[in-house]
Structure formats: structure tokens, C-alpha cells
């Protein structure tokens, strides 16, 4: 770590607290001012879904914002680029620790408002709508919303002008010449910024490993129309609910194939309502209720379902498992996955598809049909962005380390003078002078574990994961006042084969005959050793003494 | 389930006990004779690797062979098609329950012999080599080995002739016009079988969802030669060790690029030795030791490593983590993954690649370079096989349900008169008469849990998985003879947030003041309820009483 010069000069700094090192839970901070008097803005405030492997029992994760809590008095606002969960999902959880105004365009406001209502925060949070293409000024930060394209209504790129220079923060984006819903990318604004001079481009890295272009929603619509027209029997389509243009494409394909649309799953209905609320989906056909749809002839219905990632509580899993109260699929019916597999969800999705196959349902996916395009820029699109914006510094975000590193390499190939990988917690001075990492701030993750918000470091998920490998053994020893056993030891054994348990009991009985200064530790070691001898694995062993 | 006619007529039956419903642990049985006097052969005897999600703490899984143990006296032999773990990995584990001769071609014999030696079974098992293209007769089964191509030396298709007709059992295969090592597919033998008349084709379903053809090892060799010639710095390549032709391609590419080859990882060295032992790899260059390789100039070394699936104990993980005692990689070096991602390993592989990226190492994969082809038949190859063999019945195996169902659908499209999906444990009568599922036998999985072999139904892995979601609470209550508390309750809490633990202790203290007939259950319910109230999750809670 470099020492920073002890001047009172104003600096512009960038600090990612989430998303730089993982895909998800994006939270980026910009600070401006002399080191001890900086003011801050936060761009996006998202969540990441927990993994059964690494974080069992954790539903959601979000950035540890200890650093921001400490500068809360100097925090001017949270500025949201768009409404995906990995950009807004943490607002309702973290706002009580930050208590600053929140800015977003109307559709995103609608989604955040709903979350705040669920959390009972709607009257406390100043949620400020910004019109598309609008500008806001927060202290030294003058922020312009620039329309771009992505896989949700109202994606925005931010031009953040400061006395030290302009940063272009892309948010999530792609270049879709025909996004079907909303504006196309305002490339003239981006070119103009490039001509004015851009200090740094903070840019989406998700698909830097993908060559070519991401493709257009309009092409997917044409393909879905052809595909759905060709199908007999009931058709179910699952897609990311937030891809409202896609929902419209599917509804349009249904209409052209003489199929009524039923929305199945809460998120699907919620997203359609939110889009209508702010004026989108004006031509979306009137949907029918699940009950009515269930009684329509097979060739006249299309179920638009949640659950493309194999989520067990979502509509499609319940349908595939025969557990849905109203919707069922059978031999000869079809399910289209108009979605991609989010890495880590493969086995759950395949299990879902196996359940559908067991019913004789045909499963159509992006692997065999053109039913999905990504919402993130492939390499040709990244190259176009760099050509427009011409930044002096490239800062890759929104990616794992392998994406960030490759993005930096790619930016250098594109002749960007500096490309710097700053991961979560690394504070990067952008100006004045050469860009440089000047500090490491506390960073990490908060877990939504059940209803509680706990720091990852507390290790509850890690402890549970340890239990899943070799189980648990608890041993209570009841001693009288002379420290002699007053009863047989009490054993708790979970996830341990019976034979191992027996051997462990015998070993403990033997150990209790020894004289040991530290009886608990002596018994604990004997138990672990016995398990290792028979089983080859050592469970978590706890021993407690009770004196009576 | 159908009733079978109570005749004494001889029948030919097929019974999969593994692999029909999952990719892995292949074990297929063929029986011939009147229902009460059948004799049996087993084709392949493989393992499946455990999953941290569904089976935490389980290294390997294999078929539950209770059915075969019961007919052991009538079991004529285990016939192995090729040497992949999912076809031979269970032999050493299960042979003691079956004790019959084992047949295989020389390379597979070499691999099995090694496993038997590790298990101390080498003197007990009759391991019988069959020459390539050879024939064996086991009772009514006359079995011909037919050379085919796959991703390991000596893959074989079996023509199993019986008095009731001929079954062609493909094993794992593809059509590679230039497999580099070993024979090409003996399609004239397959055509001839088709002309003679084939009752059933039992066929690999792995890639039925993939259109086109799988591609040739020779093309991969040419591409690797070009790619490796273009790289500067140290190069490491990871590949499946059993793909001996691929290892040879990599060594050849190294030689042409003036790089010495070092084999890193036990499986890599073992596989090269085994191949040489039976006469393959005659032109494989002399490899150098890791120590020597470590001192060579960067541009003159290539490390051929185990660990393409992100396995934590394998060479590449240790190198990427800086934990390997002799091999290290740095900024400017490259790693080629000449392999595919086995579903379920995504996150581990990405974590491995992130660790390499953190060191500044370039990661090249099949996603961005042509460095791998599959060993399984895509649809065009399946179509060719059906055209040659012209079976009356298609029986898809080696796949999850979604693969088996699609394979059956595809076979019907290809005009195969009957295509039948029989999953693990379903006994299918092939002849005489119409094919029909006539019985459900016990089936399931055995877990290698530590050093023990336990039935999945015993639920140890399932119990441990439950612990990983909401942790464990144990409560010991020490009572005197009048059933009054003689000490404070003893608590075990694992993976439970502290606040939840405190609330749970208070709830137990309150519950202990109640009069309850069943004190254990009363306390247990109070504890679970308290956790649910604060936390929203219910841990596994056990309560035990000790009377003194």
C-alpha cells in the first residue's frame, strides 16, 4: 500500500465496496475533497444470492459498509443506475445505517418503493425520482443520467462531473439497436463526453470473455414468435421477470399463436404491474387468471412463469413437481427457458428440467433454440464504448477477478493509457496525479441469515458448512463435587455413521478412565481420534462438564 | 408395474442399476433364462463424485447392488467397456460383494489392476484381459468387443449375442475419424450387426442435446500446436489425465514450441505410465521432473497438470494458490484448460481461474479457444449409429432423465420401432414379445463417506446437509431423583447467531418453569420456537435428560 501525500489538496477517489471481485452486490463510492473533508456519493446498492456450498442457510449477501457508516455525515446520496437486484436489492437493508436520499429514474423508483414498503421504510426514505436524461447535483458531483440499453427498463449510464474531472460510470449495459422498450443508447451524449475529455470509465466487465456482440431483443422476439407458433399443447415460458421487453415479446408471440397469457409467480405479476404503473406495456394483452387458463384448450394457453434458475419456491419448480395448485403440464407440453443459467445454478436447473422430462414435457433452452440474449456487453461493444468515451483511465467493475483482469488487459489493447483493477475495499485516487491505490478500507460481506443481518466474519455460515462435512458430536460429562462421573456421558451425534458413533463412545469411555488435567480436552481429542481411525474424518466435537 | 406371465419361458432382460437417470456410476445388468433361473452379466461398474450441495462429506457414490448380491451365484462376470472412473471406479469397492470374474481390454485391465492393488484385492480378483476385437462367452451370452472411439484408449462397444437376440451396448463413444491413438470406429462390424438384425441398442445419451458432431482429437491437436507456439512465458495445460491422445497432443505441441514437459499431479504420471505399460505413447517425449522444470527458462517449459475441475487437492489448485512446493506461475504466464466444465463444478473452476487471474496469469479455455472436443456423440453421430445398427428397440442410458427422454424421442424420429426409457432399478424384458418393464428392483446409491461405505437411505449426508441450513442446538438437562433440575442446562450451539442463542436460552429457562409431561419435547419445542421467532429459521434441536 502506498502512502498518500499529506496535503490538503482536493482529491477524487473511487472505492468499490461490492461487485469488484464478484458478479453481484454492486456498491461503488466516489469521494471528493481533501483527505479529511471528503464528501461521498454511492452508486448502486445491490445484493448477491447466497450459495448452498459456500454460505449454506444464507439467502442474500450484501456489502459490509462499515466504512460508509463512519462517513455517513458526509454521504450526499445513493444514486441508482437501474432496477436489478444486484444494484438495488440492498437499499432497504442498508439504508437505516446510511440515512441519505436515494435517486433513481421512475421505473427503478417504483421497484425500490415496493421494497421500502415491505421493510416499513416508505415514510423515512427520501426517494427522489430523476427523469430520464435528467441531472442532479450533489455537492461537488454533478451527475447526468444518460440512457443506455440493458435487460430491464430504464438502464442508465452516469456522467459524474467533478472539479477534478469527469467519470463515466456505465452501470450494466449492452448496445441493443432495437431494445423494443425504452430509448436506444444515447451514443451522441457518450461521444460528446469523450470529446470533452473523460478522466475515467468505470465499466461493466461481465461478458469481457465473450467475443462479438450480445445481440438484440428484437431478434429474440422474432425467434420466439416463430418458435411458439410451431408448438402444440400447453406452453410455459420462463424468463427473468425484470426483462419487461422480453415479457412483452412472449406475450406478443402468444397473441400471434392464439394463446391467452397467464402470469404465474408473484415476481412476474409484480414486475408487469410496476412496468404498467410508470407507463410501459401499454399494448400488453390482458392476461387471464391461472384458474381460467387451466380450463382453456391446451393449444390456447401460455404460462409466463418465474423460476428460470431452478428456485424451489418459484412457480416452475412447483409445476414441474406437480405441486402447483392450479397449473399443470403433461406429456406433449413444452417449456421454454428464455433465460441463461446463472453460474452455480446448473444442478438446480437440470434437476428442474429432469422433473419436466419425467412428465414428458419438452424442454427448449438457449442451448438448442435462439430464445435469449445477454444484457451485458461482449467485446465488440466494449470496444465501441472505449472508442466513444476515450477515457484516460479504465476501471473494470461488475466481475470476478478473472473478468476484471481480462477487461484491464483488453482496455490496454484498446490504447487506454491506464487500466487499473481495484477490488472491493481498495481506494483508488483518480486525480490529481497518476491514479493510485491509496488505501485499503474494511470490506467484506453481510449475510441475510434467516431474518438477521450478520457479518460474514462472524462465521456462522462457515461453522454450518463445517458441520456438513463431518457432522457434530457433543459430549456432556456430569461430575460430582469430587470430580467423579455422576452419570453416564451424554452424547449428541448428528450426521455420523452408527459404527463411527459406537467406536467413539468406547473411546470416550476409555479416555474417562485416564487421569487428565484437562478432562474436556482429553475427551475431545479421544473422540476425534476415534472418529478419524474408523471413519477417516474428524467431526466437530464439543465437550462440556457439569458439576453438581 | 406390469404383471409378468408365469411361464417357464426364457427371457432376455435388461436392468440398469446406475447411469440411467444420472451421468455417472454406470452399471447395467443383462439377464437370460426363465424368471427363476436367470443368469446374469454386469456391464461396467462405475462411480459418481459426491456433490457438496446434495451429499456433503461424500467423496464418491456408486450403485446400491442389493439386487445383484442376491443373484450372486448366478452372476457370470463383470464386463468393462473402457477405463473411465464412471465405468470402472466401483469395481474395487463392490467386487467383494459379487466375487465374479472381471473382463476388460489391456489398458482398462491396467487401470483396474492398479485399483485392486490399492484395495489389496489383486490376488483375489480374476481379472481377465480380452484382446481388442476379442470375444468371450459367458453362459448364454456371447460377447464381442468392437472398437469404437471415445476420449480414452481402448473404448469398446459390445455386441451381446443371446438365444433371444443381439443387444449392441455402445459404452461411451463418439465418431472420431482421426482419434490419434488406437483404432477408428469399426463401423463395418456395426453395419454387419445391423444386417444380421439387432434386437436392442443400449446407447450413450450424454450429448443428445447437442446438434452436429463432436469433432476430432486431430483438430484439437492442430489447434493446440498453433496456440502453444504463440505463447510466451511459462505454460501450464490441464486436461483429463485419461485422455491419453490429448496428453500426447499437448506434449507434441510443447516439443514443437521448444518446451520441455513436466507432469504435475499423481493422476497425470499414473496415466502416462499405464499407457506406456500397454504399449501406447511410444513417441511421448521424455518428461522432466518438476524440480528441473522449475529451473528452466520460462519459454522452455510446459506443465501438464491435473485439476481441470477445480479440485482443491489437485496440482493446478495448489499452483494457483501458491501452495505447490515446486511449481509456480506468475504475471505473463498462461494456463490452458484443455477440458470442459463438468456441470456442478462451475464455481470451483471459476474460483481457480480467479486465483490464477490474481497472479496475472492468462487463462485460456474452450470458451475462447479451440482446445477441447467432447468424447460423446452429438446428434449426427447418434443418427449414424442408428442407421448402421438398425435396432428394433432403442434403450437410452448414460444420462439424466432429460437426456434419456430426448434420446428416446430422437430415436423415434429416426424410425426406431420402440424407444424405451428404463431408469435405475427398472427391469425391462427385451424378448420374447413386446419389450416391457416387468419389475422394479431395489436401487439407489452407496456413499463412500470418509472410509465407510454406507447406503444413501441411512441419511447421514442428508442429516449433515440439514445442519448446514440452520445449525445445531443440543440441550442437556441434569435432573435429580425427584426430577428437579440439579444444574443449569448445558447448551451446544453450532452455526447459530449469538442473539438467537441468547433468546433460545431464555426460552428454555422459561419452559423449564412449566409443568410438562414430556419435558424433553416441551423444551425442544420451546427452543425451536424461540429460534424461529428471532431468526426465522429452525435449527436441529436435541434435548437429553440425565438423572443422577
Whose CA is closest to A170, among A160, A161, A178? A160
Dist. CA B336–CA B447, nearest whole Å:
33
How far does the CA of residue A361 sit from the closest CA of chain B (Å)?
Answer: 9
Are residues B468 and A470, on separate chains, in Cβ contact within 8 Å? no
Are residues A535 and B449, on separate chains, in Cβ contact within 8 Å? yes
What ipTM goes with this model?
0.92
pLDDT at A335: 98
pLDDT band at residue A3 under the 50/70/90 scheme:
very low
| Smallest CA–CA distance from B50 into chain A, residue | A469
Q: Please state the rounded mean pLDDT for residues A124-153.
A: 98
| Smallest CA–CA distance from B486 into chain A, residue | A548
Q: What are phi and psi of B219, to 5 degrees?
A: -65, -40
Are residues A354 and B497, on separate chains, in Cβ contact within 8 Å? no
* DSSP for residue B91: H
C-alpha cell at position A196:
470533452
Dist. CA A481–CA A469, nearest whole Å:
38
Please name the residue that has the C-alpha cell 458413533. A501
| Smallest CA–CA distance from B469 into chain A, residue | A57
pLDDT at A1: 41
Are residues B547 and A487, on separate chains, in Cβ contact within 8 Å? yes
Which string of DSSP letters, residue by residue, matches B232-253? -S-EEEE--TT-HHHHHHHHHH
Mutation site, A20, A55, A347, A464, interface B, largest B CB count within 10 A: A464
Are residues B496 and A460, on separate chains, in Cβ contact within 8 Å? yes
Of chain B, the end-to-end C-alpha distance in Å amounts to: 56
Please name the residue that has the C-alpha cell 450387426. B193
pLDDT band at residue A173 under the 50/70/90 scheme:
very high
CA B214 to chain centre: 20
| Smallest CA–CA distance from A399 into chain B, residue | B354
Are residues A402 and B343, on separate chains, in Cβ contact within 8 Å? no
- Cis peptide leading into A307, omega within 30 of 0? no
pLDDT at B303: 98
Are residues A357 and B51, on separate chains, in Cβ contact within 8 Å? no
**Angle of the B346-358 helix axis to the A401-413 helix axis, nearest 10:** 50
C-alpha cell at position A40:
461521498
Q: How many CA atoms lie within 13 A of B436 on its CB side?
A: 11
Chain A CB contacts of B469 under 8 Å are: 56-57, 464
| Smallest CA–CA distance from A212 into chain B, residue | B368
Per-residue pLDDT tens listing for chain B (548 residues): 444 445 689 999 999 999 999 999 999 999 999 999 999 999 999 999 988 888 999 999 999 999 999 999 999 999 999 999 999 999 999 999 999 999 999 999 999 999 999 999 999 999 999 999 999 999 999 999 999 999 999 999 999 999 999 999 999 999 999 999 999 999 999 999 999 999 999 999 999 999 999 999 999 999 999 999 999 999 999 999 999 999 999 999 999 999 999 999 999 999 999 999 999 999 899 999 999 999 999 999 999 999 999 999 999 999 999 999 999 999 999 999 999 999 999 999 999 999 999 999 999 999 999 999 999 999 999 999 999 999 999 999 999 999 999 999 999 999 999 999 999 999 999 999 999 999 999 999 999 999 999 999 999 999 999 999 999 999 999 999 888 999 999 999 999 999 999 999 999 999 999 988 899 999 999 999 999 999 999 999 999 999 98
Asked if the model's pLDDT at residue A89 lies above 80, the reply is yes
Mutation site, A406, A468, A471, A481, interface B, largest B CB count within 10 A: A468
Q: Which region, left, alpha or beta, applies to residue A86 given φ > 0 means left and ψ of -120 to 50 means alpha?
A: alpha
Cβ(B285)–Cβ(B261) below 8 Å? yes
- Kindly report the three-state secondary structure assignment for every residue of B276-302: HHCCCCCCCCCCCCHHHHHHCCHHHEE
pLDDT at B207: 97
Are residues A472 and B468, on separate chains, in Cβ contact within 8 Å? no
Chain B CB contacts of A405 under 8 Å are: 357-358, 360
- Cis peptide leading into B432, omega within 30 of 0? yes
* Nearest Cβ partner for B544 among A486, A490, A540: A490
Q: What are phi and psi of B269, to 5 degrees?
A: -65, -40
The share of chain A scoring above pLDDT 70, in percent, equals 99
- Kindly report the three-state secondary structure assignment for every residue of A373-391: CCCCCCHHHHHHHHHHHCE
Are residues A468 and B470, on separate chains, in Cβ contact within 8 Å? no
Contact pairs from chain A to chain B, CB under 8 Å:
219
Mutation site, B321, B408, B467, interface A, largest A CB count within 10 A: B467
pLDDT at A7: 62
Dist. CA B239–CA B76, nearest whole Å:
36
| Smallest CA–CA distance from B491 into chain A, residue | A544
Radius of gyration of chain B (CA): 28
Please state the length of chain B. Answer: 548
Beta carbons within 8 Å of A144's beta carbon, 6+ residues apart: A133, A134, A135, A158, A159, A161, A189
Q: Please state the rounded mean pLDDT for residues A213-242.
A: 98
Chain A CB contacts of B356 under 8 Å are: 402
Are residues A474 and B492, on separate chains, in Cβ contact within 8 Å? yes
How far does the CA of residue A315 sit from the closest CA of chain B (Å)?
Answer: 20
What pLDDT digit, counting tens, does each position of A34-77 carry? 999 999 999 999 999 988 888 999 999 999 999 999 999 999 99
Are residues A492 and B405, on separate chains, in Cβ contact within 8 Å? no
How far does the CA of residue B52 sit from the closest CA of chain A (Å)?
Answer: 6
Dist. CA A122–CA A116, nearest whole Å:
5
3-class DSSP state for residue A110?
A: helix
Chain B CB contacts of A460 under 8 Å are: 471, 495-497
How far does the CA of residue A358 sit from the closest CA of chain B (Å)?
Answer: 7
Edge-first strand listing for the sheet containing A391-397: A135-138, A141-147, A156-162, A165-169, A198-204, A391-397, A418-419
How many other β-carbons are positioned within 10 Å of the β-carbon of residue A311?
Answer: 18
- Which residues make beta-bridge pairs with A162? A165
* Nearest Cβ partner for A400 among B209, B350, B486: B350
Please name each of the domains of chain B with its CATH number.
11-212+374-458 (3.60.15.10), 217-364 (3.40.50.10710), 471-547 (3.10.20.580)
How far does the CA of residue A164 sit from the closest CA of chain B (Å)?
Answer: 30
| Smallest CA–CA distance from B534 into chain A, residue | A451
| Smallest CA–CA distance from A356 into chain B, residue | B402
* Nearest Cβ partner for A544 among B52, B56, B490: B490
What pLDDT digit, counting tens, does each position of A403-428 carry? 999 999 999 999 999 999 999 999 99
Asked if the model's pLDDT at residue A175 lies above 80, the reply is yes
Amino acid at each position: 500500500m502506498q502512502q498518500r501525500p499529506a496535503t490538503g489538496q482536493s482529491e477524487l477517489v473511487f472505492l468499490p465496496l461490492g461487485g469488484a471481485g464478484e458478479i453481484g452486490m454492486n456498491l461503488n463510492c466516489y469521494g471528493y475533497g481533501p483527505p479529511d473533508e471528503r464528501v461521498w456519493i454511492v452508486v448502486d446498492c445491490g445484493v448477491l444470492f447466497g450459495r448452498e456450498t459456500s454460505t449454506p442457510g444464507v439467502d442474500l449477501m450484501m456489502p459490509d459498509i462499515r466504512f460508509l457508516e463512519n462517513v455517513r455525515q458526509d454521504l450526499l446520496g445513493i444514486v441508482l443506475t437501474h432496477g436489478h437486484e444486484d444494484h438495488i436489492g440492498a437499499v432497504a437493508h442498508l439504508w437505516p445505517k446510511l440515512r441519505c436520499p436515494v435517486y433513481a429514474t421512475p421505473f427503478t423508483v417504483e421497484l425500490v418503493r415496493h421494497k421500502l414498503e415491505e421493510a416499513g421504510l416508505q415514510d423515512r426514505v427520501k426517494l427522489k425520482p430523476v427523469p430520464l436524461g435528467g441531472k442532479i447535483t450533489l455537492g461537488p458531483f454533478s451527475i447526468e443520467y444518460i440512457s443506455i440499453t440493458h435487460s430491464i427498463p430504464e438502464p442508465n449510464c452516469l456522467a459524474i462531473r467533478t472539479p477534478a474531472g469527469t467519470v463515466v460510470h456505465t452501470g450494466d449495459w449492452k448496445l441493443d439497436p432495437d431494445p423494443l422498450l425504452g430509448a436506444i443508447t444515447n451514443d451522441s451524449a457518450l461521444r460528446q463526453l469523450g470529446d470533452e475529455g473523460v478522466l475515467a470509465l468505470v465499466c461493466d466487465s461481465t461478458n469481457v470473455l465473450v467475443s462479438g456482440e450480445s445481440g438484440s431483443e428484437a431478434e429474440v422476439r422474432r425467434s420466439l414468435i416463430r418458435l411458439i407458433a410451431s408448438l402444440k399443447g400447453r406452453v410455459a415460458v420462463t424468463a427473468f421477470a425484470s426483462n419487461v421487453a422480453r415479457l412483452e415479446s412472449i406475450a406478443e408471440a402468444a397473441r400471434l399463436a392464439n394463446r391467452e397469457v397467464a402470469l404465474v409467480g408473484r415476481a412476474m405479476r409484480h414486475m408487469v404491474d410496476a412496468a404498467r404503473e410508470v407507463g410501459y406495456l401499454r399494448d400488453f394483452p390482458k392476461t387471464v387468471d391461472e384458474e381460467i387458463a387451466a380450463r382453456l384448450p391446451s393449444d390456447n394457453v401460455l404460462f409466463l412463469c418465474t423460476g428460470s434458475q431452478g428456485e424451489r419456491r418459484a412457480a416452475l419448480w412447483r409445476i414441474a413437481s406437480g405441486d402447483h395448485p392450479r397449473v399443470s403440464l403433461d406429456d406433449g407440453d413444452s417449456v421454454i427457458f428464455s433465460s441463461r443459467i446463472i453460474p452455480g445454478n446448473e444442478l438446480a436447473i437440470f434437476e428442474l428440467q429432469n422433473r419436466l422430462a419425467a412428465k414428458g414435457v419438452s424442454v427448449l433452452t438457449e442451448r438448442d433454440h435462439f430464445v435469449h440474449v445477454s444484457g451485458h456487453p461482449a467485446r465488440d461493444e466494449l470496444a465501441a464504448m472505449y472508442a466513444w468515451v476515450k477515457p484516460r483511465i479504465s476501471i473494470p467493475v461488475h466481475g470476478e477477478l478473472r473478468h476484471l483482469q481480462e477487461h484491464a488487459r483488453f482496455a490496454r489493447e484498446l490504447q487506454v493509457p491506464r487500466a487499473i483493477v481495484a477490488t472491493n475495499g481498495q481506494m483508488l485516487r483518480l486525480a490529481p496525479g497518476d491514479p493510485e491505490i491509496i488505501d485499503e478500507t474494511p470490506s467484506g460481506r453481510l449475510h441475510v441469515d434467516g431474518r438477521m443481518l450478520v457479518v460474514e466474519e462472524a462465521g456462522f455460515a462457515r461453522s454450518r458448512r463445517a458441520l456438513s462435512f463431518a457432522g457434530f458430536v457433543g459430549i456432556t460429562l456430569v461430575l460430582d463435587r469430587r470430580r467423579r462421573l455422576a452419570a453416564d456421558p451424554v452424547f449428541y451425534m448428528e450426521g455420523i455413521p452408527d459404527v463411527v458413533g459406537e467406536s467413539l463412545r468406547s473411546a470416550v469411555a476409555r479416555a474417562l478412565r485416564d487421569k487428565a488435567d484437562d478432562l474436556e480436552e482429553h475427551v475431545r481429542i479421544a473422540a476425534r481420534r476415534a472418529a478419524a481411525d474408523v471413519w477417516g474424518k474428524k467431526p466437530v466435537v464439543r465437550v462440556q462438564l457439569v458439576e453438581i
